[in-house]
Structure 1
């Protein structure tokens, strides 16, 4: 496994620009080249605020910004130089993320294109795969999605039924993936598929990469209760993939998958992504609670102020915990699986902060119009609040990881452990 995902070739301290000089250079470039964001930009839980045309225009702008990053020397800050990155440290990335707060940035490119997809390529990809795809990712030319979840598997991704059958130097893929955010405007997919039915489920998986928009792949969009259509389901029919686009060893996809899910849980701590300090796309930031209270006419309401205080406390603890987890992982003081601690906390906190927003909004949380300002859409956000506990791996799975792999508690009972996957009871339509 490559270790390039955290910084690339070794360099002496004299070879690396100091963090404060980098920060100043980044600050000047950001303020000269990027537009400030409105205070409510990117706030909310999967809000259906744009038409398809507007969303495509937004993605095009994000690709453009990513290319601007690349040309200015700010793309792939912790990616190895040999693949187009800067070969700098997590401290440099943290400085850039702080400086870009309040300005436009390629929010929908960070996850899952940079993490977990590019991170998985750095860890397990062949040299040819890295040189083919990583520079294109850093230039904004390739947007990647993870084809991981399946309609029949829920959180048990190892129970994948999408199959890959060897045919000479190729593989033939058939199956379906679901809950793929933005697949309709993305370019490549990282796919977990079953290659062996005669071994226990974790031992018969293999990972592949494939272009999304090709014959044999049908992308259907899923409409959520608020009208959002970001989620997609893909139907894969007789798609031919060359063995050169296999990632990792045959039937050893769970080794890749375990690291894949580590990078997914690490998103907010990953040195490979740019996420402004203070909040990511698709959430209710604690600072936004003040704006909701203002537009609800409740700034002087003691209850509303208590709720704002709770949100602020959660925000402070979240950042402190994420910094501690990131530092522990970098130093090796805590195991990689501890990333699940951060994943669990951010999921629960996001759901709670969305609830706080709904409670502060009062009556407009149930019925609103555009003129209601920051209180508008708080009702829809509340109904979708559990998205933060499902997307990116459920918080229930994170609890299992923390208990079993971090705290060393006994594993929960699994009736399919040690059983050949073809012998595991399933519905008739999924038998092989």
Structure 2
């Protein structure tokens, strides 16, 4: 029995003291690949993955894994306040960063909310022990931001389903174990009514995973092609054709991201690709005493503080069942826009050195040119900020929905390409 199982009724402060002592005695300093998850090559990344599995198992054995997950599935059954206290004490220490998003949220949270008891028993403990990494498989090559327009098909075949289609922009799928997949099971109803969610083992016949190289040379994103992949009906999540109900909560948990109460991560941690801070950039560029530079540094710092506190407030409200859960789109929108601005500030602070493509060319102020060119990714990945604006307008502010040509139309009849002839 892990020591965390003895923590029933333990106050947040008592828990904090116990967590602090264990963290100091058992965890080393935070590592560069905890901050960015970037590695020099595939071999180094697989070493980091194995290290994260071991760290997650260490947390589990000590009773500090899945603090807000139910005890019957290997968690600790504690409150978001306990999780917050642990994350605060974790500051500056190593942690299994690759398990945060998307394994814990949205994947594990979706299984907890919609999975059968058998699915929960099979996967939640495995995740908490570090045995399973999970990927979310929503986006499709021809779908853009229209998640409900999925064309990956699932056809019933006795007790199984046969999947065919493609998904794209799946982070690091090449070494993940499982994925949650949204598929089309009914083409004769409007698009939101014909979707179903499945659990799929990624390393199996019929699943081809290809890497996508981005502008900055990284290839963490992947595209998956499914050809006659057989999935048992026991791995279906939710009702047949009820996938949009699951999907809405799935996307809510996705928007919560690293600030979900189910995630273990040091409080205040930045996931920017460059470890160079605005202060450090200004110092290296010789602009630390420049009033204009100081103003930019202050703006960047303020954006970070607001983003963290906004996420904290929304996460606390969601965990307590208060407020509109679609408010998570407010945090998603702010996070995306703030990240773009912060990368622009870093570029401006770097001055002439910002144009450098490598550290050597940039006079030691960081590869801000590359960061600047990649800044818009923060407004696309994890659901576009345009979609967040629509959600805020329609579901938070109650504004009328935009006109749509596919409302009430069977998905089979909806045009999905340019007209011909």
Same fold (TM over 0.5): yes
1:318 and 2:311 matched: no
Whether 1:252 and 2:245 are equivalent positions in the alignment is: no
Moved more, 362-371 or 266-275: 362-371
Deviation at 1:373, TM superposition (A): 7.8
For the 8 Å contact 2:190–2:411, the answer to whether it is kept is: yes
Q: Which residue of 2 aligns with 1:233?
A: 223
Q: Which moved more, 1:208-217 or 1:366-375?
A: 366-375
User: Would you say the 8 A contact 1:107–1:281 is kept in 2?
Assistant: no
Deviation at 1:134, TM superposition (A): 0.2
> Any idea what the Cα deviations from partners look like across 1:296-316, whole Å, max 9, x if unmatched?
222112221111000111122
Deviation of 1:283 after TM superposition, in Å, equals 5.2
- The answer as to whether partners of 1:176 and 1:234 remain within 8 angstroms in 2 is yes
CA contact (8 A) 1:290 1:299 kept: yes
Q: CA RMSD in A?
A: 2.0
Give the counterpart of 1:123 among 94, 107, 113: 113
Name the CA shift for 1:153/1:347 in 2 (closer, same or farther; >3 Å).
same
- 1:28-427 to structure 2, matched below 5 A, reads 28-37=21-30, 42=34, 49-282=39-272, 288-367=277-356, 369-370=358-359, 375-427=365-417
Output the CA distance in 2 between the equivalents of 1:327 and 1:217: 39
| Secondary structure at the counterpart of residue 225 of structure 2 | strand
Alpha-carbon distance between aligned partners in 2 of 1:327 and 1:37, rounded to the nearest angstrom: 26
Task: Tell me the secondary structure at the aligned position of residue 105 of structure 2.
Answer: helix
- TM-score, length of structure 2 as denominator length: 0.94
Distance in 1, matches of 2:304 and 2:126, equals: 35
Partner deviation per Cα, 1:165-224 (whole Å, 9 max, x = no partner): 000000000000000001001000100000000000000000000110111000000001
After TM superposition, give the deviation of residue 274 of structure 1 in Å: 1.5
Taking the aligned partners of 2:272 and 2:45, their CA distance within structure 1 comes to 14
Structure-2 separation of matches of 1:42 and 1:171: 38
Q: Is the 8 A contact 2:177 2:202 kept in 1?
A: yes
TM-score by length of 1: 0.91
Deviations 1:383-415 (A, max 9, x none): 111111111111111111111001100001110
Q: Deviation of residue 360 (structure 1)?
A: 0.9
| Cα displacement (A) at 1:368 | 5.3
Q: Deviations over 1:47-67 (max 9, x none)?
A: 6x5111111111111111111
Q: Which has the higher contact order (CA 8 A, sep 6+)?
A: 1
Aligned length: 413
Cα distance in 2 for partners of 1:374, 1:185 equals 33
State the alpha-carbon separation in 2 of the partners of residues 15 and 59 from structure 1.
32
Aligned partners of 1:283 and 1:350 also within 8 Å:
no
Unaligned runs of 5+ in 2: none
Stretch of structure 1 that moved more, 349-358 or 229-238: 349-358
